[in-house]
Amino acid sequence: MSKPVVGVIGNSGVVNDRHNVQLVGQRNMRAVAEVAGALPLMFAGTPDITDVEALLEAVDGILLTGARANVHPTCFGIEPDPRHEPYDQERDAVALHLITACVERGIPLFGVCRGLQEMNVAFGGTLHPEIRDIPGRMNHRMPRLANGEIHPDPEVVFADRHEVALTPQGRFATLLGCEKIRVNSLHGQGIEAPGGRVFVEGIAEDGTIEAISIADAPGFALGVQWHAEYDPQTNPINRTLFKAFGAALQDRQR
């Protein structure tokens, strides 16, 4: 039997200050190929060239990756602020349509970082542009040096930084066989109010929502705030999640 196909969303970018491109981090592709056992197929996060209906006929599941750009505040009724740029409104348009279509049809959907945030917005939830500005919250952004530059060592940047308490008997607790895990943290924006069908599966020590599922979804529809794509080849938590995604892809393919 051929491998299931996973559509991996692209992000708008500019190379050499002149070439408009679509970008996907290689770790996302490797997580799909090496752990979920599927063929990753990048598609453009650009609504005028990505036909969602045609895309969903061609794939067995969708991975919504992390990205530098925040979800545009107008998607959840807030005025934009230049301090929270960049934005990628073309990806917003594709992702929000795609999420509801996947859930409606039972097509496996896995959201990572920005992907979790998009899933929340797609079902009517809101986001806070800078979680660390909320009283009592930690700084969830990636570690930096004293001079403000991003730490050069990926093992430091992607190291586990805080605990997540999983909802007892929830989807994540059942999959992982525990009720507490440790994860990495590389985000500024985060969930403020969960959407109507968004079930909270995991919460960080400071109250930040870290894991969700979509209530009454007929298929796999999970999201994580941490970067699970970084090390699923070696990290047992992230490996289990991508393996479960892979199993759902195979079921869909059959």
| Residues acting as catalytic residues | 113, 227, 229
In this structure, are strands 209-214 and 190-193 parallel, antiparallel, or unpaired?
A: unpaired
In this structure, are strands 180-183 and 162-166 parallel, antiparallel, or unpaired?
A: antiparallel
Whether residue 207 contacts residue 137, with contact meaning beta carbons closer than 8 Å, is answered with yes
243 vs 178: CA distance, rounded Å: 17
Element (H, E) at 112: strand 109-112
Whether residue 80 contacts residue 92, with contact meaning beta carbons closer than 8 Å, is answered with no
Phi/psi of residue 132, nearest 5 degrees: -65, -15
Rounded to a whole number of angstroms, the distance between the first and last alpha carbons of the chain is 9
Q: How would you list the strands of the sheet with 5-9, edge to edge?
A: 39-43, 5-9, 61-64, 109-112, 221-224, 209-214, 198-204, 162-166, 180-183
State both tokens at 223: 């999201």
Omega of the bond leading into 86 within 30 degrees of 0 (cis): yes
